[in-house]
Structure 1
């Protein structure tokens, strides 16, 4: 099995999906990584704020940052080689890079069934709300 590591820029938390303005791309990546983990595929994810020592320990990443700067993060490594920088892999790229079944990361839209009911007010007895 291939070993993938994601080296990310400094973020407020380990996933970057905290706070009010959540980046949809970070949400997608978290979802993909959770799906992979549920299927027994571990991807290591390092954030410059939370794991700076990993950026120092990894000679390839350390050299990359010294040459290109942190502006080129995220850097995606597979089997100790940088395979992608400046963005996260698309779902299809995860499948190809990690040699996974094509349907593993197929995102199926969830169907939501809405029922519209006639309003009966707030439900408080006698119309007196608390």
Structure 2
């Protein structure tokens, strides 16, 4: 099973989807993560402000931060290897890393499109 780990910069809450001015990129990414989990992929997400030890105790992440600093975040690991840094991945990238078919990616989000509803 694929494990995707997301090491977020310091955010106000675990997803960054909070506060007065919500970043649409974070809203989209949170929905994509939820969709990915519904497809059976394990996703772990760490926030630098709330879980600094997760960053310090992971040698890959620690080395990345020593080289790039916090400005290089977010950092995405797939099965422990760096897959992406500096931006959040698109749903198609997440699906590819998880081995999910292109059809599943192009379908409506899982929370709004149910089999037999006519939208899929």
Give, in whole Å, the separation in 2 of the partners of 1:93 and 1:43: 14
Which structure ranks higher in relative contact order (CA pairs < 8 Å, sequence separation ≥ 6)? 2
Q: Count the aligned residue pairs.
A: 110
Q: How far did residue 107 of structure 1 move? A: 5.6
- Other-structure match for 1:13: 13
Q: What is the TM-score when the length of structure 2 is the normalising length?
A: 0.84
Aligned counterpart, 1:58 = 58
Structure 2 segments unaligned to the other structure (5+ residues): 113-120
Structure label with greater radius of gyration: 1
Helix, strand or coil at the partner of 1:103? helix
Runs of 4+ in structure 1 displaced over 2 angstroms? 103-110
User: What is the aligned partner in structure 1 of residue 115 from structure 2?
Assistant: none
TM-score relative to the length of structure 1: 0.78
* CA distance in structure 1 between the partners assigned to 2:31 and 2:107 by the alignment: 10
In the alignment, what sits opposite 1:126?
none
Alignment of 1:1-130 (within 5 A): 1-106=1-106, 108=108
Which has the larger helix fraction?
Answer: 2
